[in-house]
Structure 1
Amino acid sequence: MPTHVSVEQVRWWLDQNAVRDITSHSQEETEFNLQVTLSRLPIHLIKEEKRGPIRVVGRSAFDTERAKRLVREDESRAELLGQIGPVLASTPGFYTFLDEEGEACDLRNAETLQLEHWIYPGEATQQSMMDSLVTSSPP
């Protein structure tokens, strides 16, 4: 079992038929941060520590007037949760609603939905990486 997964290994695992536009974002506090595009959605593959997990993070904004109305109005928000709740509950990892400052909040104040899944080195394979990318794409 691997104890460390390098950025080179992650790049090699990415299926070029599914993933587009691999961009490296250098940040001092991370080992690596790759942004990939899957179905026109940007997803980040972030590794903060050498022996730590790879965080697969997808975000989708409530950026249209219709979407904002759905989350702000009580009746439509309840209907929205009824539709996406089962999808979010069955998605591996966890989800968070974020406000305009990027802080966790209730759905009524959300600007963005973030899905996140962690892959630990002992479980890291090409299959687990691609599965996580697909399931971290917001609905």
Structure 2
Amino acid sequence: MVERITAEQVRAWLDEQVVSDVQEDTEGDAEYNLQIELSLLPLHIIKEEPTGPLRIVGRTAFDTERTATLVEDPEARRDLLTRIGPVLAATPGFYTFLDEEGNRCEFDSVHTIQLEHRIYPEGVSRQSLMEGVLAVATAMRYVQNMMAVLLTQSDEGSEANG
């Protein structure tokens, strides 16, 4: 067990064959916030206070006109939630639906899904860090893939009806 997890320690623990970029995000009041990239997915590893947990945070947004249609239509929204719900529930940590202003909301008002996994000082290690990073990234990629599948099905349905 490491007494105090520094940004340098986190950087040293990151698997360079998996994580392609590490940048320090200096905005905010956190002790440190490392933005990492894994398979073109941006994630953050945040340490808000010296004795607090490491927070691994990823976000997937419905931020284009096409992806917004998935949550605007009740049937498409229900289908999407049915497909992604089990993965969200199985991902270590927790998930939160956020509206356009970044406030928590119900799924019918969702703009962004935030996934967060916390590792507390007693359990932090290279293994736990990389497991958390990989789990959050895998869930984010699954959500994005399901969005793409549903959009393709919607496009195909529109072409068949049009």
- Structure 1 match to 2:90: 90
Highest CA radius of gyration, 1 or 2?
2
Per residue, is there more strand in 1 or in 2? 1
Shift of 1:27: 3.9
Which residue type is aligned with residue 35 of structure 2?
Answer: Q
- Structure 2 match to 1:119: 119
Q: Distance in 1 between matches of 2:131 and 2:25?
A: 22
- Structure 1 match to 2:61: 61
Which structure 2 residues correspond to residues 1-139 of structure 1 after superposition, within 5 A?
A: 1-27=1-27, 29-137=29-137, 138=140, 139=142
Q: Distance in 2 between matches of 1:27 and 1:121?
A: 23
Shift of 1:134: 1.1
Per residue, is there more helix in 1 or in 2? 2
Shift of 1:28: 5.6
**Secondary structure of 1:136's aligned partner:** helix
Shift of 1:121: 1.1
Shift of 1:129: 0.6
Which residue type is aligned with residue 104 of structure 2?
Answer: A
Task: Count residues with an aligned counterpart.
Answer: 139
Q: What's the TM-score once normalised by structure 1's chain length?
A: 0.94
Percentage of matched positions with identical amino acids = 51
RMSD across aligned positions (CA): 1.2
Shift of 1:3: 3.2
Q: Distance in 1 between matches of 2:20 and 2:81?
A: 31
**Secondary structure of 2:44's aligned partner:** strand
Q: Distance in 1 between matches of 2:21 and 2:7?
A: 15
Q: Distance in 1 between matches of 2:91 and 2:28?
A: 30
Q: Distance in 1 between matches of 2:80 and 2:27?
A: 36
**Secondary structure of 2:42's aligned partner:** strand
Q: Distance in 1 between matches of 2:73 and 2:87?
A: 21
Moved over 6 A (4+): none
